[in-house]
Amino acid sequence: MKQAVIDLGTNTFHLMITESGRTLFRESRPAKIGKAGINQGIIAEEAVGRALGVLRYFREVLDRHGVRPEEVVATGTSAIRNAGNQQEFVEIVRAETGIPIRIISGDQEAEYIYFGVRSAGALDDRAAMVMDIGGGSVEFILCNQERIFWKQSFEIGGQRLLERFLDTDPISPGAVRRLGNFFQERLLPLANAVHQYAPEVLVGSSGTFDTLVDMQYMKEKGHLPAPDETAFDLPVAEFYRSYELFLTRDHAARMELPGMIELRVDMIVVASCLIDYVLRAFAIRRIRVSTYALKEGVLATMNNPDFKS
């Protein structure tokens, strides 16, 4: 049976089509539905247009692969669940594309991400901190491969941080300090959970972390990692090499970095400030990366409905 998952993220929409455990199609396209509206709690008119453009294309792909409507799960996350015009957006998408959107809570999002990361083979018996940096929210899950100990979604995603803190390019030292103070204030529940569960490794899922791995591969091997690899070790020293480049280069210079992509060239600045904060605040000295995240977790729970955290 064919199955399709659409992840309607704040910046990127992802489509994955599978059949009997085999991936038939996978593509991500920028929609940027949080741009110019996320901190005001709306999906701007221009963002609705961008979303429809991507979803009409996804509809064509679904039809081409013969995926029936009941075989499609489309999840709406931070930008949609917090938008005052949420229902209007959902209705427009359904009318224009026939794709029904299921809006998930931050707690559900964190759980799906856990199952995705676990499916990638990025976890073991040791306590880990999974972090997924989206455009609207950031999910933290303290866990191991057996179970979730604690999870929470924070509305401090990259697009929100960009619009609030990135007022110069390159980012100013003052903005970096303000970001650190902001993280310390907003992530107090995480600090309390870390004190209890003491994670030994940071596991970053997709997004920014994918780009960090791509940059490492381009630097060390001259090519990108194989698309079927799903879990990587990222040396902390390699993260900080990239971090310094992000802080000291402007948009154009960052785009020249091997492994960088247009979709992440600005958001990676504030996202890496968050990674730096987490590493320092919680004395974590190992980083792993999972290319699997929410959509793979949704697929895992579709095929294993008894999954429980």
Dist. CA 134–CA 28, nearest whole Å: 14
Same domain, 90 and 221: no
Domain end residue (candidates: 61, 85, 104): 104
Distance of CA 309 to the CA centre of its chain: 20
Closest CA to 201 of 262, 271, 269, 131: 131
Torsion from C-alpha of 281, 286, 292, 297, nearest 10 degrees:
-60
User: In the beta sheet, which residues pair with residue 28?
Assistant: 14
Dist. CA 216–CA 223, nearest whole Å: 9
Same domain, 112 and 183: yes
Mapped onto helix, strand or coil, the DSSP state of residue 28 is strand
And the tokens for 161?
Answer: 């941080």
The stretches of the chain forming alpha helices (DSSP H) are: 45-64, 78-81, 86-97, 106-119, 158-165, 173-186, 188-197, 208-220, 236-248, 251-255, 267-281, 294-303
Position 307 in a domain:
no
Position 56 in a domain:
yes
pLDDT of residue 308: 55
For residue 236, CA distances in Å to 109, 242, 276 come to 27, 10, 10
Q: Supply the DSSP symbol for 102.
A: E
Same domain, 94 and 146: no
Block mean pLDDT (10 aa), the chain, length 309: 95 96 94 93 96 98 94 96 96 96 97 97 98 97 98 97 96 98 98 98 96 98 96 98 98 98 96 98 98 96 71
pLDDT of residue 271: 98
For residue 178, CA distances in Å to 24, 159, 175, 230, 286 come to 44, 16, 5, 34, 25
Domain end residue (candidates: 104, 124, 153): 104
Domain end residue (candidates: 61, 86, 104): 104
pLDDT of residue 69: 84
Same domain, 83 and 202: no
216-221 own/partner pairs: CB under 8 Å, 24+ apart: 216/242, 216/259, 217/259, 218/258, 218/259, 219/258, 219/259
Decide if 268 contacts 216 (C-beta within 8 A).
no
The parent domain of residue 13 ranges over 2-104
Indicate which CATH number applies to the domain containing 36.
3.30.420.40
Indicate which CATH number applies to the domain containing 265.
3.30.420.150
Burial class (CB within 10 angstroms; exposed 0-12, middle 13-18, buried 19+) of 147: exposed
And the tokens for 21?
Answer: 């455990």
Position 21 in a domain:
yes
Asked if the bond preceding 170 is cis, omega within 30° of 0, the reply is yes
Q: How many domains does the chain have?
A: 2
